Amino acid sequence: MEPLDRDLEEGLLELPSEPMMLNMGPSHPAMHGTVRIVLELSGEQILKADVQIGYLHRGFEKMCERGTWSQVFPYVDRCNYVSPMLNNVGYALAVEKMLGVTVPERCQYYRVVLGELARICDHMICSGAMCMELGAFTPFLYYARARENIWDIFEEETGARVTHSFGRVGGMANPPSKYFKDMVRAAVPRVLALVAEGEKMLLKNRIFLDRLEGVGVMKKEDALALGWTGIVLRACGVPYDVRKAHPYMVYDRMDFDVPVGTTGDNYDRFMCRQEEIRQAARIIEQALAQMPDDGPINVEDARIVMPPKNEVYTTIEATIQHFKIVMEGIKVPAGECYSYTEAGNGELGFYLVSDGSGTPFRVRIRPPCFATTQGLEQLIKGAMIPDVVPTFGSLNMIGGECDH
């Protein structure tokens, strides 16, 4: 009898196969916000990935054009709901740039301290959520507890824990509370201790390192081409930080380092975040030392800043001033401006156009996550399904920012 495979070619021996399409999301445990990734799989390997972000759409920019300039603050809160304070300040700075005013020094320090606290929250939650999705639940809880310390401060300062809407054009809604500095000084070391503890659990764990190292690598050039900013860009080795490159507020007086990665993989992004938490703590320490204890918080301009409430009820001037600002809005001179700050995920830019009325003519936001999420497809192509989880996690995609 003849051998059976005599006439068969090697190529014919393979069974026909076609890639499997898999919808990851929009409702999936690892897809924060409602994102859908349509995967084309060969086994567990990802041949093609199509990242679709449109499931969370509120028409945020259009909504901003409906109210006065001050009424935009609650909307920007909900862009990056993990660190709303940074968005508040970013937007306030943009409007102030158009108005040509600078807030008093005390307010600038106040904004810096609050902003850096928010940044710590942002980074902790990102790192913690990534660990949780990898299966390690405990570090996430450590970080969540550390965040609790910071949120207590926010609660005390702003009255809200998550979305504060605390920024105002020309200042802040409230001056720092009496024990602001004490609270921050008490909380930050505690937070750092918790961060170190959570880190200890992870960085000595071979499994965790194996999941991160060499996964989701992004080249420097590609990152720049995609418009990445912030941590994800710095992890690729580009030391671009708005706070250093184009200092705003009082960041030029602060002594801090910008952590930069080498390979741009998940591990670098994780480590950059961890280091940036420590740098933020450094900034907070310096800002608290330099921040004056007295002095005005808001600019002294009746056309911009609301009068104190007790005066509104007692004097006619203040009543009229209050009425004008609330009903007509702050009159921002006609023109346009682009103002950008370093938010939790990178450069948060506001492009504002004013027609001279009390309502913004156009509010265009340049959220860092929108650009970052573009790169996801490139990162996970060729990887495996489990790699989507830490890669997506380490990009810290915030659904609210991708609302375009």
Partner 1 sequence: MNLVELVLTVGKIAIVLGFFLNLAALGVWADRRQGAMVQDRVGPNRAVVHLPNMLARLIVLLPPALFGVLSIFLALGNVTPRLAHERALVNVQLTVLVTWLSLLVLCVTVQRGGAINKLEEMFEDIDPRSIFFGGLGLHALGLVAMRFVTLDGAPAAARITGFVLGGVFLLVGLYATSRVPEGSIPLRLAGTLHALADTIKMIFKEDFVPKNADRLLHSLAPMIAIFPAIVVTAVLPFGNDLCFADNGDKVFGFADLGNLVNAVPASGACAGWRVPLQIADLNVGILYIFAMSSTGIIGAAIAGWASDNKFSLLGGLRACSQMVSYEVAMGLALVGLFLVYDSVRLGDMAVWQGQNAWGVFVQPAGFLLFLTALCAETKRVPFDQPEGESEIVAGYFLEYSGFKWGMFMVGEYLEMCFASALLVALFFGGYSLPFIHPDGLRIAFGDAILYEYKMTHLAVTVISVLGFFGKVVLVTWFQVFFRWTLPRFRYDQLMKLGWTKLLPLAIANMMLTAVVVLAARSAGPAVASWLKILADLSQALIAVLTLAGFVALVVGLLEPVERKKFLASSAARFAAAMGGVKAEPRQA
Compute how many other C-beta atoms are within 10 angstroms of the C-beta atom of residue 296: 14
Near partner 1 by CB under 8 A: residue from 80, 298, 372, 391: 298
Binding mask 309-328 for partner 1 (x = CB under 8 A): xx-x---------x------
Cα 121-111-76 angle, rounded to 5 deg = 65
Number of residues that bind partner 1 (CB under 8 A): 58
> Is beta strand 360-366 parallel, antiparallel or unpaired with respect to 347-354?
antiparallel
- Using CB under 8 A as the binding rule, whether residue 124 contacts partner 1 is answered as no
Residue 98: CB minimum distance to partner 1, A:
21
DSSP code at position 384 = B
Residue span 189-208 as binding mask against partner 1, x where in contact by CB under 8 A, dash where not: -x----------xx--x-xx
User: What residues are paired with 365 via a beta bridge?
Assistant: 350
**Cβ distance to partner 1 smaller for residue 141 or 224:** 141
First-to-final CA distance of the chain: 69
Distance CA 110, CA 49 (A): 43
Query: Which of 310, 212, 311, 248 minimizes the C-alpha distance to 111?
Result: 248
The window from 183-191, 251-259, 283-291, 345-353 that contacts partner 1 (CB under 8 A) reads 183-191
385 binds partner 1 (CB under 8 A): yes
Q: For partner 1, give the closer residue by CB, 22 or 47.
A: 22
Give me the least distance between CB of 12 and partner 1, in Å please. 25
Binding mask 137-176 for partner 1 (x = CB under 8 A): xxx-x---x--xx--xx-xx-----------x--x-xxx-
Q: At what angle do helices 137-158 and 180-203 cross, to 10 degrees?
A: 170
Q: Which of 8, 162, 320, 384 binds partner 1 (CB under 8 A)?
A: 384
- Closer CB to partner 1, 108 or 229, in the complex: 108
Burial classification of residue 221, based on how many CB atoms lie within 10 Å of its CB (0-12 exposed, 13-18 middle, 19 or more buried): exposed
Instruction: Please enumerate in sequence order all residues whose Cβ is within 8 A of that of 65, keeping only pairs 6 or more positions apart, or say none.
Output: 359, 360, 361, 362, 363
* C-beta separation of 389 from 369 below 8 A: no
Q: Which residues contribute to the site for partner 1 (CB under 8 A)?
A: 20, 22, 28-30, 44, 131-139, 141, 145, 148-149, 152-153, 155-156, 168, 171, 173-175, 177-179, 182-183, 186, 190, 201-202, 205, 207-208, 210-211, 297-298, 305-310, 312, 322, 384-389
